[in-house]
């Protein structure tokens, strides 16, 4: 069993449902590896609060991700190779400040605003944790990935369309969202998007 309960009412044909099951397993592995890397970076335990996985048509991915575009700070990067997609982390303003304190070893409440250095810390955290997740998947499944540099953006500046896998990568996306909690109650969301091909039932 993976970490993620399958959501929806079986609205996809059997090949896609098999794909979803396979991506659920892959997403479980990647998430565990990513959160394991985050534990090392913050030197604290990281607990899963709310896991979930969705299989949606490519043109509906942006709507599903809308929750991450309001008063949030996000860091993400695209990847391609054995699979194509996007991975990233998202935080509310307060949690982003608390996460920076954890990453740089400062007392809680020290960081008061997100500037260039704080952006760099969040980008580096995402880069290390999620590259670690992709490397774990690559070794387990015999894949190779090429990754782009991470991007950091705030609320209205978050280009949700930029998170959607590029046209031609697949007509559906598996979206794995995991709400996690680190030391001091600091919460965030680890997001993985994988492009897949399939057809919806009529």
User: Lowest-pLDDT range, 56-70, 87-101, 168-182?
Assistant: 56-70
Q: What pLDDT, on the 0 to 100 scale, is given for residue 59?
A: 76
Rg (CA), the chain: 16
Q: What is the 3-state secondary structure (H, E, C) of 105-152?
A: CCCCCCCCCCCHHHHHHHHHHHHHHHHHHHHHHHHHHCCCEEECCCEE
pLDDT tens-digit profile of 121-169?
Answer: 999 999 999 999 999 989 988 888 999 999 888 766 666 666 766 655 5
Give φ, ψ of 97 to 5 degrees: -65, -45
Q: What is the pLDDT confidence band of residue 72, given thresholds at 50, 70 and 90?
A: confident
Q: Which of 50-54, 67-71, 155-159 has the highest mean pLDDT?
A: 50-54
pLDDT at 7 exceeding the cut of 50: no
Count the neighbouring beta carbons within 10 Å of the beta carbon of residue 148. Answer: 11
Domains of the chain in start order, with CATH, are 14-93+123-196 (3.40.1550.10)
pLDDT at 200 exceeding the cut of 50: no
Report helix angle 14-42 to 116-141, nearest 10.
Answer: 130
């Amino acid at each position: 069993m993976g970490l993620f309960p399958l959501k929806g009412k079986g609205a996809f044909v059997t090949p896609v449902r098999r794909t979803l099951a396979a991506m659920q397993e892959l997403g479980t592995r990647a998430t565990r590896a990513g959160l394991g890397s985050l534990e090392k970076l913050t030197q604290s335990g990281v607990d899963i609060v709310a896991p979930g996985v969705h299989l949606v048509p490519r043109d509906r991915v942006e709507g599903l991700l809308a929750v991450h575009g309001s008063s949030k700070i996000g860091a993400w990067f695209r990847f391609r190779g054995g699979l194509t997609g996007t991975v990233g982390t998202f935080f509310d303003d307060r949690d982003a400040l608390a996460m920076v304190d954890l990453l740089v070893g400062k007392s809680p409440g020290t960081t008061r605003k997100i500037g260039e250095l704080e952006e760099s810390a969040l980008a580096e955290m995402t880069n290390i944790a999620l590259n670690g997740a992709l490397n774990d998947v690559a070794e387990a499944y015999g894949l190779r990935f090429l990754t782009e540099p991470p991007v950091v953006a705030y609320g209205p500046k978050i280009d949700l369309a930029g998170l959607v896998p590029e046209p031609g990568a697949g007509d559906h996306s598996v979206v794995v969202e995991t709400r996690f909690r680190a030391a001091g109650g600091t919460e965030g969301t680890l997001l993985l998007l994988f492009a897949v091909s399939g057809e919806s039932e009529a």
